[in-house]
């Protein structure tokens, strides 16, 4: 005797047919670009990846190919040895090469009456250890940054440790973005004030602008660096920075593809001049802040340092101060940017 399927069976049959039809539809849509490009052209590929990632986050997954999830929405980038630095697993095997190059540079600059300052932008976990899951422990040994700073100081290289200023400021408000590898506009301002204060004994005319003298600006929210790397378009964060109430600095960007290079000047100013080599931390607000305190300031990406930090260029620009800024995670790469005369 024939028995009609019950409602649950009908729903099951419908679901199976729906999934099979959806799968067939996606395969047909994806195959339109040919078998060779099937993976890249997979229909709604990024939507599917995003939804799968969001589901993993919702059920408590913390480890992803480029990111490590902390509490309260904090994300840490896992590339370039960031977490290894946090755990003190990496050593700086070429610190002697780094030091010798900077010693040569410092001696030459002093003979030309130019002041050198080296500074390192800390990794986010260095300032926010609480953003890393508690299961990940650090070795009780000095970090690479500790060792490099000690080495440079012992060799009389002017070097500034930004960690104390950032940690102190962090007690008042966040100095890094939750979803980015970089400091936010406030963290960059704190770094700027620390740098200017460090230079002030030699240049009394330099005085940093405190937050109270500047206008607080927010934009966005925007998809920042780590969600972008994870193809997550739904996780956004406000961007923030500080700016003078009335603009008095003129700035041009030469047209490098990342807009990392810039030339700034204050018309009619007799303040000192600056030549600064930097990475993405400089491009994230620090350059603009620094330009407020110099009659002329030229900012050049580290990748161009071997081209611009030469004796000929130094003689041409005649800056009063040269600053080299590099991220903690990239300290070992500094000799890659040295010009020849620094390694002689």
Residue 334 has pLDDT above 60, yes or no: yes
Mean pLDDT of 182-189: 97
In three-state secondary structure terms, 225 is helix
Residue 37 has pLDDT above 70, yes or no: no
Percent of the chain with pLDDT over 90: 69
In this structure, the answer to whether residues 39 and 177 fall within a common structural domain is: no
Mean pLDDT of 222-234: 91
- Could you give the residue ranges of the DSSP H alpha helices within the chain? 7-30, 45-58, 82-86, 95-111, 124-127, 144-154, 163-170, 185-199, 225-229, 280-281, 287-290, 305-308, 311-317, 340-343
Residue finishing a domain among 61, 90, 113: 61
Mean pLDDT of 240-256: 89
- Nearest-angstrom CA–CA distance, 73 and 60: 12
pTM, two decimals, is: 0.85
What does the pLDDT read at residue 225? 94
In this structure, the answer to whether residues 85 and 51 fall within a common structural domain is: no
Q: Copy the structure tokens of residue 316.
A: 């041409």
Q: Establish if 9 belongs to a structural domain.
A: no
In this structure, the answer to whether residues 38 and 178 fall within a common structural domain is: no
Residue 187 has pLDDT above 90, yes or no: yes
Residue 9 has pLDDT above 80, yes or no: no
Q: Establish if 83 belongs to a structural domain.
A: yes
In this structure, the answer to whether residues 163 and 90 fall within a common structural domain is: yes
In this structure, the answer to whether residues 187 and 145 fall within a common structural domain is: yes
What does the pLDDT read at residue 61? 79
Please give the helix or strand (H or E) that residue 327 lies within, else none: strand 321-327
Q: Copy the structure tokens of residue 218.
A: 């927010």
Structural domain of residue 45, as residue ranges? 23-61
In this structure, the answer to whether residues 162 and 223 fall within a common structural domain is: yes
What does the pLDDT read at residue 35? 55
In this structure, the answer to whether residues 218 and 317 fall within a common structural domain is: yes
What does the pLDDT read at residue 122? 98
Residue 3 has pLDDT above 60, yes or no: no
Mean pLDDT of 283-287: 94
In the chain, how many domains are there? 2
Residue 53 has pLDDT above 90, yes or no: no
Residue 308 has pLDDT above 60, yes or no: yes
What does the pLDDT read at residue 105? 96
Nearest residue to 314 via CA among 290, 337, 339: 339
Q: What integer best gives the mean pLDDT of the chain?
A: 88
Residue 257 has pLDDT above 80, yes or no: no
Q: Establish if 2 belongs to a structural domain.
A: no
What does the pLDDT read at residue 323? 98
Confidence label for 32 from pLDDT (cuts 50, 70 and 90):
low
Q: Establish if 261 belongs to a structural domain.
A: yes
Residue 34 has pLDDT above 70, yes or no: no
In this structure, the answer to whether residues 55 and 123 fall within a common structural domain is: no
Q: Which residue has the higher pLDDT, 160 or 10?
A: 160
- Nearest-angstrom CA–CA distance, 84 and 310: 34
Residue 275 has pLDDT above 60, yes or no: yes
In this structure, the answer to whether residues 252 and 139 fall within a common structural domain is: yes
What does the pLDDT read at residue 55? 73
Residue 256 has pLDDT above 80, yes or no: no
Confidence label for 22 from pLDDT (cuts 50, 70 and 90):
low
Mean pLDDT of 265-279: 97
- Nearest-angstrom CA–CA distance, 198 and 293: 13
Percent of the chain with pLDDT over 70: 84
For 76-109, write each residue's pLDDT tens digit: 999 999 999 999 999 998 999 999 999 999 999 9
């Amino acid at each position: 005797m024939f028995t009609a399927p019950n409602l649950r069976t009908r729903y099951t049959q419908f679901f199976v047919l729906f999934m099979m039809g959806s799968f067939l539809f996606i395969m047909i849509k994806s195959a339109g670009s040919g078998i060779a490009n099937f993976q890249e052209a997979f229909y709604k590929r990024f939507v599917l990846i995003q939804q799968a990632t969001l589901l993993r986050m919702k059920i408590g997954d913390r480890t992803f190919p480029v990111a490590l999830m902390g509490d309260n929405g904090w994300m840490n980038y896992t590339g370039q040895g960031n977490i290894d630095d946090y755990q003190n697993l990496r050593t700086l095997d070429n610190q002697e090469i780094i030091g010798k190059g900077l010693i040569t540079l410092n001696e030459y600059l002093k003979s030309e009456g130019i002041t050198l300052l080296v500074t390192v932008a800390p990794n986010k976990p260095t300032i926010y250890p609480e953003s890393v899951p508690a299961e990940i422990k650090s070795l009780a040994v000095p970090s690479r940054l500790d060792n490099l700073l000690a080495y440079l100081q012992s060799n009389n290289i002017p070097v500034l440790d930004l960690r104390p200023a950032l940690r102190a400021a962090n007690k008042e408000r966040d100095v890094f973005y939750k979803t980015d590898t970089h400091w936010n506009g406030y963290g960059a301002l704190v770094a700027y004030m620390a740098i200017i204060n460090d230079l002030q004994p030699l240049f009394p005319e330099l005085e940093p602008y405190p937050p109270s003298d500047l206008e607080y600006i927010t934009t966005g929210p925007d998809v920042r660096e780590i969600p972008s790397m994870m193809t997550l378009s739904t996780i956004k964060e406000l961007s923030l920075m500080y700016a003078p109430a009335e603009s008095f600095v003129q700035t041009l960007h030469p047209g490098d593809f990342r807009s990392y290079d810039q030339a700034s000047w204050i018309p009619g100013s007799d303040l000192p001049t600056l030549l600064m080599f930097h990475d993405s931390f400089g491009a994230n607000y620090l350059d603009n802040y620094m330009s407020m305190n110099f009659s002329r300031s030229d900012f050049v990406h580290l990748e161009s340092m071997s081209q611009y930090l030469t004796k000929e260029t130094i003689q041409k620009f005649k800056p009063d101060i040269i600053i080299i800024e590099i991220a903690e995670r990239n300290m070992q790469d500094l000799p890659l940017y040295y010009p020849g005369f620094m390694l002689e």
